[in-house]
Amino acid sequence: MRTLSYAQAIHEAHAQLLDRDPRVFVIGQGLWNPWYAGTTLKDLDKAFGCDRILDSPVSENATTGAAIGAAIAGMRPILFHPRMDFMLLAIDPIVNQAANWSYLFSAQVSVPLVIRSVINRGGEQGAQHSQALHAMLAHIPGLKVVMPSTAYDAKGLLIAAMEDNNPVIYIDDRWLYETTSDVPEDCYAIPIGKGIVRREGRDITIASISYMAEEAMKAGLSLEKQGIDVEVIDLRSAKPLDIDIILKSVKKTGRLVVADGGWKMFGFAAEVAASVSERAFHDLKGPILRVCLPDIPAPTSRALEERYYPRASDIEKTVKKSLNIVSVA
């Protein structure tokens, strides 16, 4: 099979979706000269025309509202917010409108909209350019939230998001763009709400998502060398949450660490921990531990960033803490 990068896989999914369905169009900022999109949208305007790849004015709210209107009118838009932070300028159309529409109108009309947004952290970008807001969005009843961590999932989940008849938030992470995996050439969908066991192990479960799934795999490899057998689950969707896959794993290992690139308080990891303790309290040999961002905005300087973003080594330390292994450093 071919190997593609995460960025190439996103690109291919767009191209195939545009190719197979004339109702599909992409709208957002910088689409004709993608600045924040890396290569994920490169030259799509040339391949599919500027009337299907719409580079918008700096109007997040209008762009989002318009995409919703077009979706209700029978189109299948992919709305692109190159910075998740600035998607907040369109929170009303997303939360009040798109998320509620089906419910408000007794399922007569839904909003078949893919809202793609990018987490763009690190590199001195700071508090207003690096936010991971998936937990906030997953909190909203009418939204689904997917967060691929591999090239294979990046393609399959974008296609699944398009095939869903309700609004789906698709979040990709710039830190993953150069990672590679095997990616089939056909237009395949990965079920939304299904996690995957990335690595089997007996001693402890790490439930993770997005770039923290990558970091969890690195931690797993390092811990293996130290004689610790880690099971790594990549949840792939924040919502719906694949709780069964975690319960099954925890039944075996009895220990759980949740690794998430969002803030700790009221976050995704908190939801996972609560759901597991509600259902599998008696399988647990110890408390569920979390590896998340500290509950402060992202810093800009390198010295601070290094301490802000959790990495594989932080997961490792937390695993050892859960197993009561006293580490030297």
Partner 1 sequence: MPKRILEEFKVEWFQLLDECGTLDSSLLSPLLSPSESITKKEIQGFYESMVLIRSFDEKALKLQRMGRLGTYASICGQEAIQVGCAAALRSSDWFFPAFRESGLSILRGLPMKTLYQYWSGDERGSVVPEAHNDFPIAIPVGTHIPHAVGAAWAALYKKDKIAVLATFGDGATSKGDFHEGLNFAGVFSLPVVFLCQNNQWAISIPVSRQTAASTIAQKAIAYGFPGIQVDGNDVIAVYLVVKQALERARRGEGPTFIECLTYRLNDHTTADDASRYRSEEEVTLWQEKDPMRRLRRYLEKTYDWSTSHEEALQQEVNARISTAVEEYESVGPDDPLQMFDSLFETLPKDLLEQRAELKRRIEKEQEGARH
Ligand X SMILES: Cc1ncc(C[n+]2csc(CCOP(=O)(O)OP(=O)(O)O)c2C)c(N)n1
Catalytic residue numbers, as ranges: 60, 129
Looking at the DSSP bridge assignments, the partners of residue 207 are 233, 258
Which residues have C-beta within 8 Å of that of residue 139, sequence separation ≥ 6? none
Nearer to ligand X (CB atom), residue 83 or residue 239? 83
The residues in 37-56 that bind partner 1, with binding defined as CB under 8 A, are 55
Asked whether position 128 contacts partner 1 by CB under 8 A, the answer is: yes
CB 75 within 8 A of CB 25: yes
SS3 133: coil
Looking at the DSSP bridge assignments, the partners of residue 80 are 28, 116
Which residues have C-beta within 8 Å of that of residue 251, sequence separation ≥ 6? 280, 283
CB 140 within 8 A of CB 99: yes
CB atoms near residue 281 (< 10 Å): 8
Strand residues in the chain grouped as ranges (E): 3-5, 24-28, 53-55, 76-81, 114-119, 144-146, 168-173, 180-182, 196-199, 204-208, 230-234, 237-239, 256-263, 289-293
The residues in 81-110 that bind partner 1, with binding defined as CB under 8 A, are 85-86, 89
Minimum distance from residue 151 beta carbon to partner 1 (Å):
24
Residue nearest to ligand X (CB): 86
Minimum distance from residue 51 beta carbon to partner 1 (Å):
14
Select from 68-76, 98-106, 123-131, 165-173 the region that touches partner 1 (CB under 8 A): 123-131
Nearer to ligand X (CB atom), residue 29 or residue 237? 29
Select from 97-105, 152-160, 252-260, 305-313 the region that touches partner 1 (CB under 8 A): 305-313
Asked whether position 306 contacts partner 1 by CB under 8 A, the answer is: yes
Nearer to ligand X (CB atom), residue 76 or residue 81? 81
Minimum distance from residue 174 beta carbon to partner 1 (Å):
13
* CA–CA distance, 181 with 43 (Å, rounded to integer): 23
Select from 101-109, 120-128, 131-139, 269-277 the region that touches partner 1 (CB under 8 A): 120-128
Using the rule CB under 8 A, which residue among 22, 39, 295, 325 binds partner 1? Answer: 295
Minimum distance from residue 254 beta carbon to partner 1 (Å):
25
The residues in 275-294 that bind partner 1, with binding defined as CB under 8 A, are 294
- Interface contacts to ligand X, rule CB under 6 A: 29, 58, 86, 89
* CA–CA distance, 20 with 24 (Å, rounded to integer): 9
- Tokens 């809202």 belong to 115
Nearer to ligand X (CB atom), residue 58 or residue 127? 58
Nearer to partner 1 (CB atom), residue 69 or residue 297? 297
Question: Which of 12, 6, 3 lies closest to 210, judged by CA?
Answer: 6
Identify the DSSP state of 177: T
Minimum distance from residue 287 beta carbon to partner 1 (Å):
15
Burial label for 275, CB within 10 Å (0-12, 13-18, 19+), is middle
Nearer to ligand X (CB atom), residue 28 or residue 156? 28
Minimum distance from residue 131 beta carbon to ligand X (Å):
13
CB 120 within 8 A of CB 36: yes
Binding site for partner 1 (CB under 8 A): 29-30, 32-33, 35, 55, 57-62, 85-86, 89, 124, 126, 128-129, 264-265, 294-297, 299-304, 306-308, 328-329
